[in-house]
Structure 1
Amino acid sequence: MPEGEIALALAELRSALEVGLARIDGQLALLVQRSDQTDKAVEDLEQRVAALEKGRWPLPTIAVLTSVTAVVLTVLGVLRG
């Protein structure tokens, strides 16, 4: 193989390698961007869950108070009736 053909083949190989690396760099940048978006979405979701958990605590208490009130009213109804 003459030197000119070898140089041409090496130049083509180098060009193909540069194109491939540029494509990989672009894909990596996209993955980093998506990862950042996912991190932000997870953080937002954690904050929403925490807010829901804080607002949920009275529900069991309200259920117990309602049950106790129903029992007291039933007992009073039986005693008066």
Structure 2
Amino acid sequence: MVSSGQAEGVAIELERLRRSVEVGFATTRGDLALLLQRADQTDKTLSEHDDRLDALERARWPLPAIAALTSCAALAVSVWQGTGH
């Protein structure tokens, strides 16, 4: 049989162990909450950067279209000059 002193010692150690586990879980929950907040901030930043990039892409000059128009105009001028006008 276990004496009452030993049972009390086991109960105290179990309570300490329980407390340590609770503190560990609380710390883990806090760390996870911080990571979730940082992930949300990162998602928001990426979304803002995507919006800015889309705006820049819409505002850029359409260089291939301008080059095609320029070459067509040069061809038309060459043909016009070649016909003798």
TM-score category of the 2 structures, normalised to the smaller one: 0.7 to 0.9
What residue number does 1:59 align with? 63
What amino acid does structure 1 have at the position aligned with 2:42? Answer: T
Please list every run of 5 or more consecutive structure 2 residues that lacks an aligned counterpart in the other structure. Answer: none
Calculate the aligned-residue CA RMSD, in Å: 2.1
Larger radius of gyration: 2
CA distance in 1, matches of 2:17, 2:83: 98
Residue 14 of structure 1 is matched in structure 2 by 18
Give the number of aligned pairs. Answer: 80
CA distance in 2 between counterparts of 1:65 and 1:59 reads: 10
The one-letter amino acid paired with 1:58 is P
Identity of aligned residues (%): 45
Deviation digits for residues 47-80 of structure 1 (CA, Å, limit 9, x no counterpart): 0221123123632221111222333344456566
More helix by share: 1
TM-score (norm 1): 0.75
TM-score for the superposition, normalised by structure 2? 0.72
